[in-house]
Chain A
Amino acid sequence: MVRKTSISRGTRKRLHLKNKLTPVLFLLPGILFTFIFRYYTMFSSFWISLHHYDVTKPPGEFVGFANYADMLANPDFWKAWKVTFLFVLLSLLLSFWVPIVQAIFLNEIGRGRGVFSSLYLLPSVVPAAANVIIWKWIFHPVYGIANKVVGFFGLPPQTWYSDPRLTVFCIVFPGIIGGGFGVLLYLSAIQGISGDIMEAAEIDGCSGFKRLLYITLPNIWFLILIQLILMIIGTMQILDPVIQYTMGGPGFESASIAYFIYDKMQVRFDYGHATAIAFMLQLVIAVMTSIQLRLDQSERE
């Protein structure tokens, strides 16, 4: 890694004086648009959350932190958190580990690895809505094959997306097929493990599945950890699949916290409460993200 030397800093300083305008021109567009689309909107969101929002004469009556208090006392709010954590937990159990396993085995393949890895890419480019169409059909209570499969094991037919106990499971389940860019990311990490380590392992008699467990896996744990945190941050904000699969239903059984906000906003036009919840979500996300950035930093150093 080449760091800036003292000579170059001196050169830069001279340039700096010569043309103070240049950095401003380079940086202004980015700073400005970031301010408009993130900081202004965030503060405006916070401002709205302090009001009983009135669409006819915004922002309406100032109520302080009453919206926050309302939400903390609202059982639906806590239920949405519960659903959100259920999403995180099920993603962890059903889908998170799949690309890791796929990548580990893909790395053990000699001939044809290129073809297999290309095929693994494809699920990433299937539009989400197309996936939703087919999985909704697979889980269709009457015409779907999911009931045929459970019938094969002697279980009674289910209503899947309409079943309060199964709806979150059914939204997460399609992720179990894995594939996508994640596999390639893990694969490149595995291939980045130095040959010396592998050779040493072989000399020590560590081969076959043992090598996967004791050498390969521990050597990519860092990437797994970062991906895990990214997955959790992403799943905490899960919204699109909920809209596409179930619209939060049945009842509010699959309403994640982001969907809860969406519902307050788009269905009930209750902007004050919606933004109050969004801010509480932001707090949680901020903590998670700072952990992730810290980890990223430490890997780079």
Chain B
Amino acid sequence: MKKRERGLRITAYVFTSLAILAVFFPFLMMLSYSMMDSSAVYRLPPKIIPEIPKSVSIIVDYTGLHAEEAELRDKILEDSVSSLFTTYFETQKNSVGEVKFYGIMEGRTVFYQRAHTMEIKMITKYTTYQGVTAMNRQTLLYNYRHKKAADAIGYRFDLSGVNEVYAADRLGQNEWNDNIVAYLTDESKNRGINGSIKGTILGRNALLMPENFMYYIRVPSYMFPNDPLIKKLSFFAFLFNTLLVIVWALITQIGLCSLTAFGISRLVSRKTSKILMFYFLFTVMIPFMCIIMPQLIMMQKIHAVDNYAAMLLPYLYPAAFYIFLFKGFFDRLPQSLFDAANIDGASQWYAFTRICMPLSKPIISVIAINIIVAAWGDFTWYLMAANKPELWTINLALYSISTGMNSEHNLMFGLSVVTIIPVMAVTLIFSKQIKESLANAGIKG
């Protein structure tokens, strides 16, 4: 008998461990893909484990270039921006994580610029170099836009020397050296460098993988530069919308449902209570698809379309199921509590807010979890009535960006991961409370 129980226990552990692994499998895949560059995501045959990204440094010597400081800086900037973008362009398929550019004069570093390839990609895809397909001096330097790109990336320039130094002993010691020099100086492609290239350094840096996420968070602000809210808050604009909806849903649903349930449970005769419960519970049977069209027409009439009103107003309908749960709970509260309040001459409002609600914490937490999960997942209504980037909730933003924007998959995975991690963290922090509430729901609700 003991033996059988032990066998079961071991099976339970093994099964549960495997099940947890399965549950996390999609998320782990997403995490892994989000650390790849876009070429690695599209690699065949598909690989799941990301490769450690490479770091390319380009060292260019300007000794002997006699010019004023400002002119010298301009010349180096031209070189630097074209080196960064050309190197990225030519090595896209090789998991390069960053490109660094060192400008040297008489043995000391006077200029340093460094960009993560995600940033270079964003600039070529969404901002300064949007639509540029050939990387050469004409396209990159046209209209001095390389200065805009350089400002976006940031750089350091000081004739007396900057702090960044390169590993001189590894200069040119890599298999890519000749190729990269050739890419940068290919005159047939209209490329060239003002200084003289001393060589390149190739390294690997695992820290470049998590750095991806800094750019994933900023992806929306690159994608929608014309939208002030998203440009400023980027991804957090969607988070704000989601939280707004959730908070509003919590306030209206808990407020209206408890108010109604209190009325049904304590203020009317038994017969009226039955009629009212039927009135509310009947709405459970109405499929959302049945009312969505008139609701949309109604909202259009009051101009509540494509704005926050469209998103928030439908939550004024008190979900019948929550009324049902509240009423069940209120029915079971001992009458003696309320009798005492009545003798004191307290109003029903006092009884509701000061006696009933404080006692209802268990049922409120169950309902709150239900509301949060429902509001978090709401989709179709927003898709139909509030489909504008500045109104997107996280769910809708991920859907719309992944379908409409022709974005690359590692961006999508990255955006998903930056959404999921904070939510998971919050869930784990409150897991004890959530579990308690769910246990209450199972027994009482």
User: Which residues from chain A sit less than 8 Å from chain B, CB to CB?
Assistant: 1-5, 8, 11-12, 15-16, 19, 22-23, 26-27, 29-31, 33-34, 36-42, 44-45, 48, 58, 101-102, 105-106, 108-110, 116-135, 137-138, 142-145, 148, 174, 176-179, 181, 184-189, 191-192, 202, 205, 207-212, 223, 237, 239-240, 243-244, 258, 261-262, 265-266, 271, 274-275, 278-279, 281-282, 285-286, 289-290, 293, 300
Contacts and interface: CB of A to CB of B under 8 A. Distances in A.
Given A178-B23, A185-B441, A125 B427 contact: yes
A138 B283 contact: no
Nearest to B43: A143
B293 A45 contact: yes
B263 A23 contact: yes
B257 A30 contact: yes
A48 B291 CA distance: 11
B41 A143 contact: yes
Nearest to B13: A109
Given A148-B46, A275-B290, A282-B290, A127 B314 contact: no
Given A138-B26, A266-B384, A143 B44 contact: yes
A179 B376 CA distance: 18
Residue from B9, B48, B292, B394 whose CB has the most chain A CB atoms within 10 Å: B292
A261 B311 CA distance: 21
Nearest to B295: A41
Contact of B280 (A30, A108, A131): A30
A36 B313 CA distance: 11
A246 to B, nearest CB: 11
A106 B352 CA distance: 40
B23 A119 contact: yes
Interface stretch (B77-85, B120-128, B222-230, B408-416): B408-416
A265 B381 CA distance: 13
Interface in B275-313: 276, 279-281, 283-295, 297-298
Interface in B235-273: 256-257, 259-260, 262-264, 266-270
B438 to A, nearest CB: 4
Given A29-B259, A41-B294, A244-B379, 4 more contacts: A27-B264, A40-B294, A108-B12, A207-B4
B335 A132 contact: no
Interface stretch (B53-61, B86-94, B316-324): B316-324
A118 B4 CA distance: 28
Contacts of B190: none
B284 A23 contact: no
Contact of B291 (A19, A31, A38, A212): A38
Contacts of B19: 102, 105, 120, 177-179
Nearest to A58: B297
Interface string B420-432: 1001101110010
Contacts of B269: 16
A132 B399 contact: yes
B155 interface: no
Contact of B380 (A26, A174, A240, A274): A240
A33 B318 contact: yes
B70 interface: no
B101 to A, nearest CB: 33
A67 to B, nearest CB: 13
A233 to B, nearest CB: 9
B48 A145 contact: yes
A289 B395 contact: no
A111 B294 CA distance: 54
27 contacts: A2-B335, A11-B342, A15-B267, A26-B259, A26-B262, A42-B286, A48-B294, A105-B11, A118-B435, A120-B20, A122-B23, A125-B423, A126-B423, A130-B30, A130-B398, A133-B412, A134-B29, A137-B33, A137-B409, A145-B48, A185-B441, A188-B443, A244-B379, A275-B290, A278-B289, A281-B290, A282-B290
Given A16-B267, A181-B438, A130 B335 contact: no
A15 B342 contact: yes
3 tightest CB-CB pairs across the interface, nearest first?
A: A208-B4, A30-B260, A26-B263
Contacts of B264: 27
B339 interface: yes
A208 B7 CA distance: 7
A174 B23 CA distance: 10
Contact of A38 (B317, B399, B423): B317
A290 to B, nearest CB: 7
Nearest to A209: B8
A287 to B, nearest CB: 9
Residue from A38, A186, A266 whose CB has the most chain B CB atoms within 10 Å: A38
B373 A124 contact: yes
Given A177-B23, A207-B1, A128 B377 contact: yes
Interface in B11-58: 11-13, 15-16, 19-20, 22-27, 29-30, 33, 41-46, 48
A23 B267 contact: yes
Contacts of A133: 30, 398, 402, 409, 412-413, 416
Contacts of A279: 290
A13 to B, nearest CB: 8
Interface in B315-361: 316-318, 320, 323, 328, 331-335, 338-339, 342, 347-349, 352
B256 A29 contact: yes
A73 to B, nearest CB: 21
